[in-house]
Amino acid sequence: MGKCCTDVCNERWKMNMASLKSVIRQGKQTRGDLRKIREAGKVPAVVYGYGTKNVSVKVDEIEFIKLIREVGRNGVIELGVGSKQIKVMVSDYQFDPLKNQITHIDFLAINMTEARTVEVPVHLIGEAPGAKEGGVVEQPLFNLEITATPDNIPEYIEVDISELNINDTLSVADVKISGDFTIENDGEEALVSVVAPTEEPTEEEIEAMEGESTTEEPEVVGESSEEEEKED
């Protein structure tokens, strides 16, 4: 299967440090307390990790959504916690699809000099010549696992498919990077392919297949002998 080994990758960074304010939640809180926080448009959250103790906080949901759109899922956030400014990343968050609401966020305090392994989305750019000829673009890998310090994590990685013909494949090893990070995926893993279109069977082929599937009903064992006994 053919490969296209040109410069197929472009990384995008968004290292404009974004800020978010939080309010410390005092004491042990019940489910009712957490519900009231969410009803007020805030999201319960926890901050933990490098250089900090576990702290329960709450942040404004709308501000958080705006911020994630700005810096991306792996972006670095300067979180205000009391009188401190802590550099964090979103480790995890929970979303309630029924209420269309973020219900909890885990903020991980980070060391900016320590490398982390994260997943970064792959964006395909360009139009494959093979697709214009009727081929189908298949992308089995939508994210790449990379290792980098927080300030070198790209928001996404663009892969150019404008030279892919039918039966061409780009593997992870074909991705040329210029950023200061390492791709952890197996180099032989297929990233994107252009496969030949599947031909629809003709009416004659369909009839032939139906004919092959039609078989005579098998004779029930013992049926004829039982009828003979009845006649006797």
Q: Are residues 56 and 124 in the same domain?
A: no
Name the pLDDT band for 176 (thresholds 50, 70, 90). Answer: confident
Q: Are residues 8 and 121 in the same domain?
A: yes
CB 175 within 8 A of CB 154: no
In a domain, 205, yes or no: no
Residue 87 confidence (pLDDT): 95
Q: Are residues 60 and 43 in the same domain?
A: yes
Q: Are residues 153 and 134 in the same domain?
A: yes
Residue 60 confidence (pLDDT): 97
Q: Are residues 86 and 139 in the same domain?
A: no
CATH code at position 41: 2.40.240.10
In this structure, the strands spanning 9-12 and 23-24 are unpaired
3-state secondary structure of 26: coil
| pLDDT tens sequence across 46-93 | 999 999 999 999 999 999 999 999 888 899 999 999 999 999 999 999
Burial class (CB in 10 A: 0-12, 13-18, 19+), 52: middle
Question: In terms of residue numbers, what domain contains 161?
Answer: 2-12+116-195
Number of folded domains that form the chain = 2
CATH code at position 151: 2.170.120.20
Q: Are residues 88 and 125 in the same domain?
A: no
In a domain, 155, yes or no: yes
Q: Are residues 190 and 132 in the same domain?
A: yes
Q: Are residues 43 and 126 in the same domain?
A: no
pTM equals 0.71
